[in-house]
Structure 1
Amino acid sequence: MEIRVLRYFLMVAREENITKAAELLHITQPTLSRQLMQLEEELGKKLFQRTNHSIRLTEDGMLLRRRAQEIVQLADKTEMEFKTGEEELSGSIAIGSGEANSVQEFAEIIGRFQKKYPQVQYDLYTANADDIKERLDKGILDIGLLTEPVDIGKYNFLRLKGKEKWGILARRDSELAQKSAVRPQDLMDVPVFLAQRPLVRNELEGWFGEYYDQIHVAGTYNLINNVAVMVENKIGVAFCFQLQNRFDNLKYIPLSPEVETGAVIVWKKAQTMNRTMRQFINFMREYQEKERHTL
């Protein structure tokens, strides 16, 4: 498979129309159709369901789209690394992060690095820790900001000083919203949404203690925005970090006893790094060292 053909495939998958995709790719429609048929022959799979008016992905086509997106992203990233100039630091750093207050601390580090090296760009990707680790392992991401508990045995890391405080996201008109803190027994008759990550769920299971088997789990989630809509619609409450309130009808209530977790910046061990990445990691280490000396 050629990268060029995968780009053609992704454009058609996005537009669901060969004529429009060909125009955007600046090639003829017969050429594009021939490339797609050759790709199907090469893989031995039918990738598209064709009709008179549109073209849609088959199940095999949807699998290839996921893989093609990863391959093209990695190819673009590799090309950018080789284009990085030797005189002035440039290029891009691919960063994965969850939704956490620790992003603010990480942004301060990036902001100082940007002042020193203004030509460097930052490609941001938001996901949970498991997704970020998978992309780190594949080389799609350079660095990840992960909230604990998390297994970081395969990575080098820097620990951030901030802590994430867990609590409940509930509607402002609910009984829970009137409390200053939520105890395990307060949630016995309330549907709750838990984080998808097993390590986090184990942490919360420890907080519930003897009450864990009695709670009603309404579902799980990986990012806060979607589950916040569920909370607004009275489907349940959600365990989450204390974040800046972006939802007018919702309120964060801390847990009692308190549950805090840390955050780490990680990157793969023994990976071959370009000049930009080496400089950034050295800068982070120096920044943390200065911070320790000022305390």
Structure 2
Amino acid sequence: MELRVLNYYLTVAREGSITKAAEVLHVSQPNLSRQLKQLEEELGTILFFRGTKKITLTNDGILFQQRANEIISLVSKTTNEFTQQKESLAGTISIGCVESVASRMLSKVLRDFSERYPLVRYDLYSADGDDIREKLDKGLIDVGILLEPIETSKYNYIRLPYLEKWGVVMRRDDPLALRETIGLEEVSRLPLIPPRRMIVKNEISNWFGTTEEELQIVATHNLLTNASLLVEEKLGYAICVEGAHEIRGSRNTCFIPFAPIRTTGHVFAWRKSQIFNSATELFIQFIRDNKKA
């Protein structure tokens, strides 16, 4: 399976037409059709439903599209690393970061690191912990900043001295918005929009002294943006950390911390046995040397 054929496939999937894809790729339509047919034979499956004017992806085709994108991304990342090693300290550091108070910390760290190494570039990825760990495991990002709790057996990590308060996001005109804190028992009776991560949902259920099934969960979220919109439409109360609301919150919502206070820490993690370019190695050491207790 050649990278050229993967690019052909992704172009056809994007354009929805072999004719249009052939024009974009500057290849003949018969040649492109033949390459796709050979790809299907190699994989032993059908990737497209071929209509008269438009093609659509089969379920296997959608899965292969995802894998092809990951392969192309990883090859591009690897090529850049080897190319940039030939220059004075340069390179690209790919970083995943949850939305929390650590986001502001990261921006300051990158500013300081860039002053020392101005040729280094950064590829930033915002997501929840599950998405970031998946990217770490596949080698698609180098390092990640994650909220605890997190399974750390597969990773090297540095515990960061930044704590986040948990609480609920609600409309500013909600009667509960006048509170300085809100009790866990009271929250457990509200329609809730918690984070989607199973390990976090389990911990929240433990705080409430109940099970997830007993809670009134109307939706879950991985990042707070869409959850805040649901809050504005009075569909429920979003559970998150305070820093996420500071970054993503709107003028129409506010954050009220839990009582008793519930906090969580951060870790800066990377996959064990991972080999990095020089820029990433230095960045990890920079984090280790400059974290403040």
Segments of structure 2 that go 5 or more residues without pairing to the other structure are none
Q: How does 1:267-282 map to 2 (within 5 A)?
A: 267-282=270-285
Segments of structure 1 that go 5 or more residues without pairing to the other structure are none
Task: Determine the C-alpha separation between the residues in 2 that align with 1:44 and 1:212.
Answer: 42
Cα pair distance change 1:118/1:26, threshold 3 Å: farther
**Aligned residue in 1 for 2:191:** 191
Per-residue CA distance 1:44-99 (angstroms, 9 max, x = gap): 21111122222211111001011111111111111111111334112211111221
Determine helix, strand or coil for the equivalent of 2:141. Answer: coil
Cα pair distance change 1:216/1:34, threshold 3 Å: same
**Aligned residue in 2 for 1:85:** 85
Q: How does 1:43-54 map to 2 (within 5 A)?
A: 43-54=43-54
Give the letter for the 1:197 counterpart.
R
Task: Determine the C-alpha separation between the residues in 2 that align with 1:68 and 1:17.
Answer: 18
Quick check: 2:85–2:278 contact (8 Å CA) kept in 1?
A: no
Aligned-residue offset at 1:25 = 2.5
Task: Determine the C-alpha separation between the residues in 1 that align with 2:108 and 2:100.
Answer: 14
**Over aligned residue pairs, what C-alpha RMSD do you find?**
1.9
Aligned-residue offset at 1:232 = 1.7
**Aligned residue in 1 for 2:265:** 262
Give the letter for the 1:31 counterpart.
N
Q: How does 1:2-81 map to 2 (within 5 A)?
A: 2-81=2-81
Q: How does 1:1-295 map to 2 (within 5 A)?
A: 1-209=1-209, 215-242=215-242, 243-244=245-246, 246-288=249-291, 291=292
Task: Determine the C-alpha separation between the residues in 2 that align with 1:46 and 1:214.
Answer: 43
Aligned-residue offset at 1:286 = 2.3
Task: Determine the C-alpha separation between the residues in 1 that align with 2:66 and 2:87.
Answer: 37
Determine helix, strand or coil for the equivalent of 2:275. Answer: coil
Quick check: 1:172–1:250 contact (8 Å CA) kept in 2?
A: yes
Give the letter for the 1:278 counterpart.
E
Task: Determine the C-alpha separation between the residues in 2 that align with 1:188 and 1:145.
Answer: 29
Task: Determine the C-alpha separation between the residues in 2 that align with 1:211 and 1:29.
Answer: 57
Give the letter for the 2:9 counterpart.
F
Cα pair distance change 1:38/1:144, threshold 3 Å: same
Give the letter for the 1:267 counterpart.
W
Determine helix, strand or coil for the equivalent of 2:151. Answer: coil
Q: Provide the TM-score with structure 1 as the length reference.
A: 0.91
Per-residue CA distance 1:248-276 (angstroms, 9 max, x = gap): 22111111111110111101122222222
Task: Determine the C-alpha separation between the residues in 2 that align with 1:31 and 1:97.
Answer: 43
Percentage identity across paired residues of the two chains: 44
Determine helix, strand or coil for the equivalent of 1:283. Answer: helix
Give the letter for the 1:158 counterpart.
I
Give the letter for the 1:162 counterpart.
Y
Quick check: 1:188–1:211 contact (8 Å CA) kept in 2?
A: no
